[in-house]
Structure 1
Amino acid sequence: MSIDWNGNETYETHEPIGPGSPSGLPRFEARRLFKERMKNRHARIEMLRRLVAAGGVVLGSDDAAVQDLNDWFAANIEADPENPGFPSSECYSVCHDMALFLGEVMIERHPNLYWEFFTWGKKSVSFQRQVLMGLSTEDPKFRTNIDIDGMVVGSAHEVLGSQGSIPTYGLVEIKGHLIDIDSTARRPHRSGAHPRPRVPAKLLVVRRAVSARVRPPHGAGIL
């Protein structure tokens, strides 16, 4: 990690919130968090701009600048020392800021998109999270959306995994039998299957957005 968080005076972290946690908050608290992030999003993007500038990266909305941000992200992400495989609290904060920035880039390119507080379906992975809606292909039944925050955090997990930082879950008892979750996860999923190859850090954020199988208006690329 090239960023000295203790001596960094250009970046102030978000309140600590991990992936998925808004779904477990009371509605009023989750909505407060959403409104606060929307109110402060431009200030947070400016904070991100100063942070990446210290590393020689210019924050911009063109493809080359987005790729530079992606490469910076992959090179600087670090795991929580006490929780392998999970980003540190500072890096979670950067993930949230990157999601706000990338969301604004997508809105700039496709003005019919907008931020929304997602409340449709408690079982949805996007429940009570900030998402982008307004897609021309939106399914009114499933409320099609782009959870860009979840995509960036998911990419952080992939980068850490590709660097060898893997979460451990230990033993669980299922019907009287102890199962080693970590050992099971390392095995091939089916007979003769090969282990999943390590994913290169480059283009993970963009790849995640594309792999969401949600296309913006007129079939244009997401980023």
Structure 2
Amino acid sequence: MPKRLTIETFVLGPDETNCYLLSVGDEAVVIDVGVAPQRLVRRIEEKGFDLKAIYLTHFHLDHIGGVKEVLSRFDVPVHASGQDDFLKEISLEAGGLREFVSHIDFDFQPVGPGARTVLGQPMLVLDTPGHTPGSLSFFFPAAQCVFVGDLIFMIAVGRTDLPRGSGPELIGSIRSRLFILPDATRIYSGHGPMTTVIHEKENNPHFSPGIFK
């Protein structure tokens, strides 16, 4: 049986982005790194964690703005979808990253849907486009939790008015990828509090009341 996964949340940057530090024993990974990650770095160093990797749900600035700073302290691979790389060619005013490329132009290893082992735990990478074309979610079945970036929030869903966002795709991703997970699965979003699959099935106003009962 896999050892227990510990989850710590760091709310980073002006957009109050949730950055997650996952650990099992003395090994750790990070999911999303918001702007100004100094508290995250200090925690990793204080605990003496052997940081193994960074996983990114998508390429918006508030979720990747601190990656280079973390990489300056820890030599680890970054895993993300290459489908969001186009944002580097679009201006910030239009929802892209062009003016910040020098701050966020780090190397990453493209990752797609499928099963992996992370920290000795089974992890499923879920393709969940809509907020961005390359949005990913990371599901840990043994720990009954999923990290979804800006796909869904407590009684809300992610915005789709930024470059190549799609409302129908986002709703489809939630229905076909997230809402098929066990009801007790905890949802860790990119902003705001944790919620659960069953809570969103029953209470999220973007879905018909009772449709999943």
Give the TM-score of the pair, scaled to structure 2.
Answer: 0.26
Q: Identify, as 1 or 2, the structure richer in strand.
A: 2
Give the number of the structure whose residues are more often helix, by fraction.
Answer: 1
Higher relative contact order (CA 8 A, sep 6+): 1
Answer with 1 or 2: which has the greater Rg: 1
Normalising by the residue count of structure 1, what TM-score does the alignment of the two structures yield? 0.26
